[in-house]
Amino acid sequence: MMGITRYTRILALFDENRPSLTVAEMSEALETSASTLYRLVREMVAVEMLESTVESHYRLGPLFVEYYRRIVLTDPLIRSGTKFLEPLATQAGVACTAILARLYGKTVMCVAEHRMPAATFKTSYELGRPMPLLRGATSKAVLSSLPKRNITALLADKASEETREALAASFAAIRKFGFCETRSEVDRDLIGIAAPLRNAELGINASVSVIIEARSLTTETQPQIYTAVTATARMIEGFMAEQLG
C-alpha cells in the first residue's frame, strides 16, 4: 500500500448505504490486516476524518464539514453565484431547481443548489455528487466554453470519434445561442436548461442551470426561462470578475 490512497480507500467505504463500519468490516473489504487498519483509523480519528461511535463502529468525521465550510467561504464561484439561485428560480416562473455546477478536475459537480418548495420531482444533480461529463445540459454547458485542447484532454478516453464530433457540434451550438437545453438525458421527463459561466483569470469553468419537468416547458414559459438563465450567468460572471481584487 502506498501514499494517500491508504486513507482514501478507507473513506470510500463510507457512503449512503454504509454510514458506519467496524474495523473488522474494513479489514474484510480492503483485505488488509486489522492491525494496520486500527493504526490508520486511529490516525484518521485524530485528525477528525473519522469519528468513533457506538458499538465499535466508525463514521465520517467533522473535518469534512469544516473543509466544506472553507470551500463555501473561499470558492469564487460559490461566493458569487449562490445568492442568485433563489432569484433565478423565481424569475423562471415555473417549479424548478436552480443549480450551480463546475468542472472540478475531471468531474462536473453541483456546488450550490436552490430547490423551490414547488419542485417536488427528484433530480440526480445533488450538491456534492459527481455528474457525468457528457450528458445533461449542466455538464455540456460547462464543457462548451472550454478551450479546445482541454476538451480533447478530457474526452481522450471517454468518447469515440463520432460522439466526439457530435459533441463538438453541440458545443458550437451552445456557444452560438448562449445556453443548452436537454431532455431526459439525465433524469427521465426532466429538462435541463443551462448557460455556461467562466472566468479565465480564476480558472473557473462552470454553468448555471434550472431543472424543470418536461410539461413545464411551453411556448409561453420558454423565453422567460431562457432569459433568466442566461442573464443570471452574465450577472454571476460580473460578480466573479469583481472578486479578483
Partner DNA sequence: ACTTAATTACCGAATATCGATAATTATGGC
Partner DNA sequence: GCCATAATTATCGATATTCGGTAATTAAGT
Q: Give the interface with a copy of itself as residue ranges (CB under 8 A).
A: 3-5, 7-8, 11, 14-16, 19-20, 40, 43-49, 51-54, 59-62, 64-75, 104-105, 107, 109, 111, 126-130, 200-203
- In the list DNA, a copy of itself, none, the entry touching 65 (Cβ below 5 to 8 angstroms by class) is a copy of itself
Cα distance between the two ends of the chain: 44
Residue 9 touches DNA, criterion: CB under 7 A: no
Asked if residue 93 lies in contact with residue 225, where contact means CB atoms within 8 angstroms, the answer is yes
Q: In angstroms, rounded to a whole number, what is the distance separating the alpha carbons of residues 132 and 238?
A: 28
Q: In angstroms, rounded to a whole number, what is the distance separating the alpha carbons of residues 31 and 41?
A: 15
Residue 200 touches DNA, criterion: CB under 7 A: no
Q: Which stretch binds DNA (CB under 7 A): 53-61, 74-82, 86-94, 224-232?
A: 53-61
Amino acid (one-letter) located at 2: M
Residue 52 touches DNA, criterion: CB under 7 A: yes
Kindly identify the residues of this chain, within the stretch 27-46, that bind DNA according to CB under 7 A.
32-36, 38-42
Q: Which stretch binds DNA (CB under 7 A): 21-29, 84-92, 105-113, 175-183?
A: 21-29
